[in-house]
Homo-oligomer: A and B are copies of this chain.
Amino acid sequence: MALIVQKFGGSSLASPEHIKRVARRVADTVEAGHSAAVVVSAMGDTTDNLIDLALKVSSTRPSREMDILLTTGEQISIALLSMALQEIGIDSVSFTGGQAGIVTEAVHGKARITAIDASRLKKQLDAGKVTVVAGFQGVTEEGDITTLGRGGSDTTAVALAAALQADLCEIYTDVEGVYSTDPRIVPNARKIQEISYDEMLELANLGAAVLHPRAVEYAKQYGVPLMVRSSFKPVPGTLVKEEAVMEKGLIVSGIAYDLNVAKVALVGVPNRKDNLQLIFRTLAEENINVDIIVQSIVQNEGSDISFTVSKDDLSHAMDLLTALQSRLGAQEIVSEEDLAKVSIVGAGMISNPGVAAQMFQVLSENGMLIKMVSTSEIKVSCVIDANDVQKAVGVLHTSFGLDAVETATVAR
């Protein structure tokens, strides 16, 4: 008998019929002899509808009041799911974030959990009840209602699993698990059976979008095993844990890509010691996120400094840098759009030299120009033309032995 935290997202709870199906899913766990603590998001479009209401009365949408407004979405879900469970004979009790003992910092819209007093939940679980907890929300020490920001329900689930010392945290979603790459562009993408937290973080940050990175970080920090699985099909999903078993012969676990990439290059920047920090502090102060940075020092003539930003931020970044140009002493500032980043991720890379070389070779053999490169212990990323992305992901997927025998089906 295990204690399992189960998290269901908004698309799994889109209608009363969906909620009944989720109740049936939870009942299966209980009937198999396990204890279940369930975390839910708001139903389908509820959050968007509430935001629309707010837009009609407020141009500023003050964050404290927005939190009070938006948290009603999950509160509706917990009540309905708890009723649906009782309807099929499963004893259950629902809790808002505050009632579940989730305490956050006093920041609205994107609070972090500071403490969890899980004693009320534990008592109900020990009494054989299913606890249904509102995700995405908590209260401050003063009792003000807060939200955890985007992806917050995943974080709630992982944090509760840690506090309850649960055996497993299941994240139910509309895909069957984590794939070796996006099944929409590589039809024979492989469902990954096990993956490490670090690999998952690289894949999540790079656009796999199945799990929120903050939830994965939390899971890693507290050693909570995560299972990503389908809320519609009862098939095994992907297990995320510290020491994932590497699949036979696979050095690379997955291939991620990001189409939202633009490049800025500052040419001929004099090698003054404060120039680099001036550039990147200026961008950071305007909340412009910089990804890959490449600096090449050319003796005497100064450096060429290149970096990538998201497409949305490009014109803002160019404005800021153009204003700085004379102070930096840069000869030229140029930008490039229509780029993409393709990355190979795998914990096995550390002990396998030549992985990056294989990537470069595959891309160049297929006629693609690599414009920038960035590497970490478990990842190699290349910036290429956006037009080449689909082909690049496909050939890398084949080259690193990831092609599945069967074609992946993304269940809805």
Contact = CB atoms under 8 A, between A and B. Distances in A.
Interface in A18-76: 19-20, 23, 50, 53-54, 56-62, 64-66, 68-69, 71-72, 75-76
A139 to B, nearest CB: 9
Instruction: Give chain A's interface secondary structure class.
Output: helix
A398 to B, nearest CB: 47
A81 to B, nearest CB: 8
A84 interface: yes
Interface string A137-177: 00000011100000000000000000000000000000000
Interface stretch (A86-94, A243-251, A350-358, A364-372): A86-94
Given A58-B87, A72-B72, A143-B99, A80 B53 contact: yes
Contact size class for A? Answer: 35 or more
A293 interface: no
A176 B154 CA distance: 50
Interface string A78-120: 1111111011000001101011000000000000000000000
A62 B86 contact: yes
Nearest to A78: B68
A236 interface: no
B53 A65 contact: no
B68 A96 contact: yes
A20 B86 contact: no
A403 to B, nearest CB: 43
Nearest to A58: B83
Contacts of A19: 57
A16 interface: yes
Residue from A19, A57, A60, A81 whose CB has the most chain B CB atoms within 10 Å: A57
Given A69-B79, A72-B75, A75-B72, A57 B94 contact: no
A83 B99 contact: no
A79 B65 contact: yes
A16 B79 CA distance: 26
Given A62-B86, A69-B80, 10 more contacts: A16-B57, A60-B86, A64-B94, A65-B86, A65-B94, A66-B79, A68-B75, A68-B78, A68-B82, A99-B143
24 contacts: A17-B56, A53-B80, A57-B81, A57-B87, A58-B83, A58-B86, A60-B83, A60-B86, A61-B83, A62-B83, A64-B93, A65-B80, A65-B83, A65-B86, A65-B94, A66-B83, A68-B79, A68-B82, A69-B76, A71-B75, A72-B72, A72-B76, A99-B143, A99-B145
